[in-house]
Amino acid sequence: MNSPSTGIGGQFMLPYGLRIGSWEAVSSDGTTIRTDVKIGPAASWPPTYVMNGTVTGPHIAVGFKNTSSDLSGWAGTTGAAGDWLTLDIVETEVPESVTVALGYYQT
């Protein structure tokens, strides 16, 4: 995503069931960004269930990169085929460019 601000920063429909196992965020410039991962069925657009619950989702705290495979505090890590997944930007210093990748496997 380029020049992101708060709100939906990315979205896609899941082609199959999956389980998220990790995340990685990288930025072109030293920045701060915090996101929530939301999921929900197409019939109830937009997604409202925050997968990372009350813990911090994918984020960078003043730097270029952050990653985690410890999702033990997340409220949920699975999605079904046809669900919509969104990446909501909660806080940012408006970096030039940020990429967030979710590591997952098909269930």
Task: List b or e across 3-15, with b for residues whose CB sees 16 or more CB atoms inside 10 angstroms.
Answer: ebeeeebbeeebe
Residue 98 is predicted with a pLDDT of 85
pTM: 0.87
**Calpha distance 21→63 (Å, rounded):** 23
CA distances from 10 to 20, 35, 37, 73, 107 (A): 16, 11, 10, 23, 22
Classify domain 7-106 at the CATH topology level: Jelly Rolls (2.60.120)
pLDDT tier at 20, thresholds 50, 70, 90: very high
**Contact present, 10 and 36 (Cβ < 8 Å):** no
What mean pLDDT do residues 20-27 have? Answer: 95
Q: Given the structure tokens 């997604």, which residue do they identify?
A: 47
Query: By C-alpha distance, which of 75, 96, 107, 104 is closest to 12?
Result: 104
- Please give the single-letter amino acid code of residue 48: T
pLDDT at 8 over 80: yes
Kindly list the domain boundaries of the chain, sorted by start residue: 7-106
pLDDT tier at 4, thresholds 50, 70, 90: low
